[in-house]
Structure 1
Amino acid sequence: MNLEENSYQQDSKQWQDKCNRLLYYHVVLTLKDGNTVDGIIGRVDDDQVIVLVGENVIEDESRFGRPLGGGGGRFRRFGPRGFPFASIAALSLLAYPFFFPPYPYYYPYYPY
């Protein structure tokens, strides 16, 4: 085993460990070609990570036979995509703004 293969295996093992720690988290992958991908880590294999990547879908109202208002419905679905460890340059958690609550605050019920 030469030095280059040993270095590749160490890098692959480090990416595998990091991806296992962030399993089921919403992350941002930066690839070596400069592209960025955000998604949820769904599975970690020996040589790649499977990420559930979101895509926007616009459904035509004629498909359902009823008007959806505005000409169609917009949905977001997630599909699996594999990324080899050799193509990953950086991996980080997706930052959510914590100063805004995820839902409106409702006051407790006032007894009359």
Structure 2
Amino acid sequence: MAEIDPIALPVGTRTDRVTFDRRELDRILDLYGRMVAQGEWRDYAIDFTRDKAIFSIFRRATEVPIYRIEKDPRLARKQGAYTVVSQTGLILKRGHELARVIAVLEKPLRAVN
């Protein structure tokens, strides 16, 4: 049986990296857009590695990320594949559902006088 060359496959079907799917990216970018509109966040980066997909959020482009949203399929059955990590490495939330995990980054609504 011949081995499949992952480089020869179309981009969406490569198996050598963990990626976010369209729905996951839509959810993350929706939150990101709202936080940019509020002036909280300014830049982002996406990294796809063999083990994880990482969406890093920056307050300024020259800084280290203030938050990282990570997808690690190896933890899907145990603690949940999704994690939000702070700048200091503290895990803020971990779980099986992306929407519930990234809710920790939502700013609570404030009453306006």
TM-score (norm 2): 0.34
TM-score (norm 1): 0.34
Greater relative contact order: 1 or 2 (C-alpha under 8 angstroms, separation 6 or more)?
Answer: 1
Higher strand share: 1
